[in-house]
Amino acid sequence: QEEKVQIAKKHLWPKQLREHGLGEMEVKISDSALHRVADDYTRESGVRSLERQLAALTRNLARRKASKEALPVQIEPSEVQKILGAPRFERDKDQDHDTAGVVTGLAWTSVGGDILFVESLLSRGRGKLTLSGQLGDVMKESAITALSYLRSRADELGIDYRLFEQYDLHIHFPEGGIPKDGPSAGIAIFTSIASAYTQRQVRPRMAMTGEITLRGRVLPVGGIKEKLLAARRAGIDLIILSPKNRKDVEEIPAEYLKGVQIKYAERVDDVLAVALLPELVARPQKLPVRDEAPAPTGPSVEVQ
């Protein structure tokens, strides 16, 4: 988005002013207004849609000039919405973390970086795992891997093992109309289910991306620049990555990551040390267990 804004400022806005009979210095546009156009009215990786929105702005200015109306000296975000109408895309926001099992991940899509929420919920059952949110095979495998590793670490995390046999786990990725795949949500899934089983708070304004292995290692993933810029747009101030992604972070201009802290985690234990707070959520889910667990039926996975 930063690159798109700079292209718009230096090239697209002056071009549209000229094409609509306005002087290049007649009406300026603030950086915040350009960000508003890019964030709320476009979702592509290129700039064609951005240029179309800027053309709509300048057409409005040209009509006002022809009607002898006074033009603003500079276009600000409030003027953008007056002209372009309600935002076409909801601005990314960090999710409320007062509920256990809710974690913010980072995704790399065809239109750039985006944030990705992971929600986990336990309900009375027989240990079934349900996955929903239009997931691809790789993401399903990440969820199964994360749950298997969590089960192996139950004692260290203070999780009563009977929970795995007496409760079903549902992992959901909102925005079910959008296909999702890839291994990069691994540590976000692990953190989400760890929070659900322990009812511990997830650190707010935090996001993460990284693949998880069955031995609990955190592996690097791609699209780091796009993901980090999406996190900054969403108000995230702490991001967890694999140390092997450090070189990708170092290639991003420092001003693009102002106010964002990066934590590197070799293992998922390191992730939880940062991501999970010792306190329980304000309204923890009651998870009573029976003294005798029902006979295990074996692992069961359901995909919706």
CB count in 10 Å sphere of residue 118: 27
Q: What SS3 class is residue 244?
A: helix
- In sequence order, what are the residues at sequence separation of 6 or more whose Cβ sits closer than 8 angstroms to the Cβ of residue 75? 27, 28, 29, 30, 33, 57
Structure tokens, 259 = 């106010």
Which one, of 218, 229, 151, 207, lies nearest residue 183 by Cα?
Answer: 218
SS (H, E, C) 13-34: HHHHHHHCCCCCCCCEECHHHH
Residues 127 and 164: their CA atoms lie apart, in Å, by 5
Predicted model pTM: 0.75
Terminal Cα-to-Cα distance of the chain (whole angstroms) = 33
**pLDDT tens digits, the chain, 304 residues: what are they?**
678 888 889 999 999 999 999 987 889 999 999 988 988 888 666 688 889 999 999 999 999 999 999 999 899 999 998 899 888 766 545 555 578 999 999 987 666 678 899 999 999 999 999 999 989 999 999 999 999 999 999 999 999 999 999 999 999 998 766 788 899 999 999 999 999 999 999 999 999 999 999 999 999 999 999 899 888 878 899 999 999 999 999 999 998 898 999 999 999 999 999 999 999 999 999 999 998 655 555 556 766 6
- What stretch of H or E contains 164? helix 162-166
pLDDT recorded at residue 296: 52
Residues 235 and 284: their CA atoms lie apart, in Å, by 26
Which of the residues are catalytic? 184, 227
Residues 265-277 as b or e (16 or more Cβ within 10 Å = b): bebbebbbebbbe
pLDDT recorded at residue 41: 83
pLDDT recorded at residue 95: 54
Q: What domains are defined for the chain?
A: 2-84 (1.10.8.60), 102-303 (3.30.230.10)
Residues 172-202 as b or e (16 or more Cβ within 10 Å = b): bbeeeeeebebbbbbbbbbbbbbbbbbbbbb
